[in-house]
Amino acid sequence: MRVRADSPWPSLYLLIITSSLLRPAVTRPGPASRSDEQQQRRRREPCRLRQVAVTVSELGLGYVSQEEFLFGYCEGSCRERRDTYDLVLEQLVRAGTVDAPAHASPCCRPSAYVPQPFFTVDHVAGYVMHAEACACVGASSSSSSSSSSSSSSAAAASAASKRPLVKKSSSSMWSEEDDDEEEEEERP
């Protein structure tokens, strides 16, 4: 199509072509990748303990060690564990009556921890805490610490949260007696 130079059509023609190039192409959604499907399925699964084989160096804590162990972590959905508090809070947030809190619904968290001892390449002993058991923990259950009906798993999680995540030991041998003595010294 030929357009005269003094006509308004050239600028309109350029505008149409430019806007069509800037507009995102319409594509049909293709099949989701296998990892996306696995992640969605895991989110729908109930809260549970999962394990992954890692080396101490892969933890990102600055230790150099090729020692490998199974690191326990929690993953899954807690939607079936919501109580009336969580349901009412969700409705109030949707209605705009209250601002959304940081954690408006229960989440899958460790309820018990276990230490994993390791040695670095410099023969320094240490340990890292990882999950031993998982449970759904929410805003309503975390605020009930003053009630007398606390479970043993909640007590274990509370005690474990006071421990350091990573601990160094100058001794070449690892023992629980050393661990207890050092913890008493660390706490005021």
CB atoms within 10 A of CB 85: 14
Q: Is the pLDDT of residue 65 over 70?
A: yes
- pTM score of the predicted model: 0.49
Residues in the chain: 188
pLDDT at position 11 is: 52
pLDDT tens for 81-103 read 677 877 788 888 888 888 877 66
Average pLDDT, the chain: 68
H or E stretch including 48? strand 48-55
Q: Which amino acid is at 154?
A: A
pLDDT of 64 strictly over 60: yes
* Domain definitions of the chain by residue range: 32-144+152-186
Most confident of 32-36, 119-123, 159-163, 168-172: 119-123
Topology adopted by domain 32-144+152-186: Cystine Knot Cytokines, subunit B (2.10.90)
134 touches 109 (CB < 8 A): yes
Nearest to 133 by CA among 157, 150, 116: 157
For residue 40, name the pLDDT band (cuts at 50, 70, 90): low
Q: Is 183's pLDDT higher than 60?
A: no
Sheet holding 166-169, edge to edge: 107-119, 125-137, 166-169
